[in-house]
Structures are given as C-alpha cells and as structure tokens.
Amino acid sequence: MNKTVTLALQGGGSHGALTWGVLDRLLEDGRVSIEAISGSSAGAMNAVALAHGYLEGGADGARQALKDFWDSVASSSPFSMPFEEQGLTADIATQSELPAAMKHLFSWTRFFSPSQLNPFDINPLRDILAAQIDFERLRQQPGIQLFIATTQVSTGTLKLFRNRQMSLDVLLASACLPMIHRAVEIEGEAYWDGGLTANPPLFPLVHKCNARDIIAILLHAQPRAQVPSSASEIWQRLTEMGFSSTFHTELQGLLLAKREADRGWLTWGRLERRLRKLNLHVIAAPELMSQLSSHSKMNAQAAFLHSLHAEGRARAQVWLDQHFQQLGQYSSFRMAHLFR
C-alpha cells in the first residue's frame, strides 16, 4: 500500500550525498509517494534533481537524475579519482579528509572575500545544473511541489521559491555560501545560502500540503560532549550551530503548536485540524556526521560521495523496516526532551 509523504531535505554540502542514498532507497522501495519537498543548499539540489527526474520517468527517472547529478559533482572535483580505483576500503571518516591544498584554500576564506578569492565567480554547479535540469519544464508542468529556501541578503530573512519561480539562479542562490561565492541576484535582490535561515523549512509542508507525514532527512551531528577549545574546533562548532539552529527553532515551534492542538477539546480551525493529524519522522546518521569535519562538506571525491550514498541507503532501509507501518498513523520521531 502506497503512502503519501512530504520531504524536508537538509543542506550540508557534499554530505548531501547521504540524502541522495536515502532518497534512492525510498524511491526504489516504491511504497512512498511524494507530494512535496522542501530543501536548502544541497537539500535543494537533491529536491530539484528528484522532481525533474520524476517528470522525466517516474521513480526510476528520479533515481537516475540524482545519480547523474552526484556523479557529475564527483567528476568536476579537481581532486577526484575514478570511484572504482579508490574503492571503499577505508572508512567514511578517513575518506572525508580533504587534500592539503584544499584545506589551505578554505582557510583563506576567513580573511578574503569571494571577489578576491574567486574573481571570475567560478562555480562548477552552474554548468552541471544547466546541462541536467529542464527548469522550464519544472515551471510549467505539474509535479512534485518544491519549496526551495534562500536567504535575502538585504533583510537576512527567508525567501522561498516554488515550482513556477524555479530557475538556475534560484538553485545556485540556495547553495551560495557567502565565504566562497558572490551573492546571486534575482530580480534585483541578492541572495545567499538558504541554510542560514531555514535548514530545511518545515512550515510550507504544514501550510501548503495535504500529506499527513513529513520525513525530515537530516545531516546533523550528535550533541558535542566537550566544549571546543582550539581555533579550528571553535570554527567547526560555530558552523554547525549556524546551520542547525534555525531548524531546531522551527521544529520546537511546530511541536509546541502540535501539542497545544492535540490538547484542545474542540478543533475548529484548519490549522488546528492539520496539526492534530500531522506526523513527523526523521532519517539521520548523527554518529557518522560527528566523525566528519566541516571541511569534508567540500569534499567531492567520488569514493567519499559513494560511501555516503551507501550509508544513506542503509539508514533508509533500517527506517523502512522499523517505521514504514507508522506512516499515516503517528509520529516515529520524539523530542520530548525539548519541553523539559
């Protein structure tokens, strides 16, 4: 029996290959129908590739489109080697290590602007997306609803783009890290990475969709037991916090609103009825993410991406085995500790 869901896809650079693996397994399973997807940064890339592929050839087309995108990302890396040559003999944490030259380059992003480090605004994603995604078809043809997050530079607020507004610039804006790329201008406004203000956005899946179940695919690390002390540890923790705090804030608000709706004796409003029926599920690998440095989000080597893909498929399989039957019935995700 097919069950309809919406998906919320978190951003995290190359770590988004784990999300690719999760999506690949869900699409292969065939029992999950997707009404809508929200996404930021790498989550937005996965969302658009999936939606585009689905228009082309259903679930199989979506799987192929995701594979084509990530394979192209790997082949565009200046430090990539063929996947077959590198193999999967080392663990993912070992494969995540960047070459020394790349680490040195990214260290300079703390001191120089994108216009200084990247004066020609070179972005391999631009060519990959232009070649693989039919944005006109996404705008014109009904399909999976998309909610792509960006951050408006002038106000520091979230701006969502939907199917009818989809373009190459929108997708590049959603993944525009301010330290590496210049802001992307759309209709006179400058935009940065959507993960700064929603990573990923949940509210459009509540207010604009009908599916009772939201599956959030997250790239968060486990809570840190120790206070960072070195400069690199502090920088990494600040980066993690900056791209996770918006989601935690929105999630807490959503769960609080749902709890109040569940307590009500009478439910008159559409939102209250929607919240009472809403179920939340999470697929994640926090212990693995804790082993990876923030620099590894820039690692596009084939072996690393394919290892994350394999791990994502495994996580999705565990979730399907344990929680698929709960779809449409109740939430498999618990965050009661937030209310203590």
232 belongs to the catalytic site: no
CA distances from 292 to 94, 98, 179, 195, 296 (A): 9, 11, 20, 19, 6
3-state DSSP percent of the chain in helix, strand and coil, to 5:
55, 15, 30
Sign of the Cα torsion 110, 200, 338, 318 reads negative
* CB-based contact 39:200 (threshold 8 Å): yes
Annotated catalytic residue: which of 41, 80, 296, 307?
41
Phi, psi of 254 (to 5 degrees): -65, -45
193 belongs to the catalytic site: yes
Q: Beta strand pairing status for 189-193 and 145-152?
A: antiparallel
Take residue 112 and report the two structure tokens written for it.
């120089």
* CB-based contact 56:65 (threshold 8 Å): yes
Is residue 191 classed as helix, strand or coil in its secondary structure? strand
Annotated catalytic residue: which of 14, 24, 40, 193?
193
The set of catalytic residues is: 41, 193
